[in-house]
Amino acid sequence: MTTTSGPSQQVASASGATIATGAPVAGAGTTEHQVADPFDVRLALRASPLLRTFNVAGLLSAADVHVAQRLGRLARETDETVLLAVALAVRGVRSGSVCVELDDAATLTAEAEVEREPGSATEPTTLDLPWPDLAAWRAAIERSPLVAVGPIGHADRPVRWVDGRLYLDRYWRDEQVVRDSVDARLAAPALPVDAAVVRDAVRRLFPRAEDERQRLAAATCAVSTLTVLTGGPGTGKTTTVARVLAILQQVTGTRLRIALAAPTGKAAARLREAVQLEVGRLAPEDRAGLGELEATTIHRLLGWRPGSSTRFRHDASRRLPHDVVVIDETSMVSLPLMARLLEALRPQARLLLVGDPDQLASVEAGAVLGDLVRRPPTGQGPVPALAAVLPDSTAPVGGDRTALRNGVVRLTVNHRFEGAELTALAAAIRDGRADDTVDLLRSGHPSIEWVEVDATLTPAHLTGLRDDIRSAGLTLLTAAREGDATAALHALEAHRLLLAHRRGPAGVAHWADVAESWVAEAALAEATSAEAAADQAGPWPLGLPLLVTTNDRDTGLFNGDTGVVVADEAGSRVAVFGDPDRPLRISPHRLPAVVPVHAMTVHRAQGSQFARVSLVLPPAASPLLTRQLLYTAATRAREAVRLIGSEEAVRVAVGREIRRASGLALPR
């Protein structure tokens, strides 16, 4: 594969065609939640004949096979069809599902792409594999000593079979924790409040006619222990959170213990910044009541337990002390983490889940926010109590009333009038309107740029991308030389290059090298040789953008946090992270595992926003092209988005939804 080291060199294709030399483009890489690497095909050498067939075909990884066979040996299960089902359940978790639905198993396709002969397409197809007879397969599973059958089946078996779905037992148990906790909160009696006080507070803080859904959300939070606040970009979710907290403070009449949290450190920093900004606009008495609100990661909120990555200091036996817990970016929260959070909440504590269910789901198993939004109501939820506390101008009707039975309020009015075109693009993608998406991309509006590449991606296609990367990189380097941590962290958010894949010619590994070379060339062109040598001296070059890849309690850094290396007062180097106005400074030798972040996957970008975003699409044949991926990438941009790829790739992405197997959205 060819990479760039300058503007005149050739660039590997990312649009699904060929590089400038006419050489074929290899298949794309994997997303971060996938364990199997399509460029590293590994076979389970000791697999039984049936599992070997599925392994060789690429549907099962070696790890899937090994786990299934290991469990089979422990339970003395020799039926290959049962072990196949277990391996598929392991595969499901690896790809983000909670279980495998046996009726749909035969429609599964290999996620791994392989290099084809020159000129041929790389397309996932329904595999022609020796699937077991469904009735016989079900019967074998139900009599297996490896499998607990039904909700009250054996508690000591590692696999569970419920209503045609096969789970690894721990994920089934986590699903039940979430289901039972949510149902209990929705069925609980309304919280005792003064209806007149609620009405007045809601009317005062949400006075406009277009604030109807915000009033619904505030009233729901007042009377219920569970509210799910959803909406797309620019609909005012964070503004609503700040004002809802002020309303709750007034309604309860006491100083509430409030926790703000998000799945990543970056998302937590953005939550704190946005909420505090809105609190600063409130009346003095509201500001005084709320005080200085902080935000943290969910992991830190629950408290680390030494020696465990799945259990926390706060749990069912040691509850969180907070009266109100707000979780932002809930679409990123996995099923196990949501289960641990719900276990740790006091029954009377209010929980406000905030997020966009149309974004990519967690990189781990589960799509909890989407399931909670889609699940059929099991009761009336907070609806009966709302009539007494809502202002006369607000009344839930139709679909709003149905959603409210699950505590769900969706904000729909966009308040970012300067970004109307970006909002329209996001809505077209979200709704699956491919023609409208293409029309908006071709509109020529300054906030939307489409570099349409049908056959060959050449250096000429990359002029705008190269200019943005160089400009952002030079701004970052200048701030780093001056030791200006605030300016450096702001520069880090000026532009971000996003990819669907980690590896391959359309992946982060390749494009990060390209971006780094562009920044290095620009830096050399504007600096003296002495300055350039000083910038690059030592293992931590000035202006190096960093991405944390693990959680580290000692430094307070978490997986997904981004930072940059800057000069310090002593003339040495320090890495700065977090809020630009309150940067966290860490000596490089104390850093946890980090990697340069000249480019990142769309998954990694969740919870972050950038002034400008560039998305390089993989080939149209990539199985990772989905509506959620395109929507998530487009909504990372505050001011402008650039898309590089073919019309075919765009249409494939808009037309394909991610489906994660789960029982949470289904009735009992």
pLDDT tens per residue across span 129-174: 889 999 999 999 999 999 999 999 888 999 999 999 999 999 999 9
Pick from 472, 465, 434: which is nearest to 449 by CA? 465
Q: Is the dihedral of CA 516, 521, 525, 530 positive or negative?
A: positive
pLDDT tens per residue across span 441-487: 999 888 999 998 876 777 888 889 999 999 998 899 989 988 899 99
What would the two tokens of residue 112 be?
A: 């791994």
Mean pLDDT value of segment 402-428: 82
Residue type, 319: R
Whether the per-residue pLDDT at 591 is higher than 80: the answer is yes
pLDDT at 127: 59
Give the pLDDT band (50/70/90) at residue 280. Answer: confident
- pLDDT of 532 strictly over 90: no
396/394 Cα distance (integer angstroms): 7
- What is the per-residue pLDDT across 37-56, written as a single tens digit (0 to 9) for each? 333 347 888 888 999 999 88
Range 174-193 average pLDDT: 94
Give the pLDDT confidence score for residue 416 in this predicted structure. 56
Can you state the angle between helices 508-526 and 529-536, rounded to 10 degrees?
Answer: 140
What is the arithmetic mean of pLDDT over 368-384? 89
What's 118's DSSP letter? Answer: T
Q: Can you give the pLDDT at residue 72?
A: 94
For 315, the token pair is 């749990």
Burial of 162 (0-12, 13-18, 19+ CB in 10 A): middle
Instruction: Give the model's pLDDT for residue 527.
Output: 65
Mean pLDDT, to the nearest integer, of 640-659? 91
H or E stretch at 84 = helix 80-94
Residues of the chain with pLDDT > 70, as a percent, come to 86
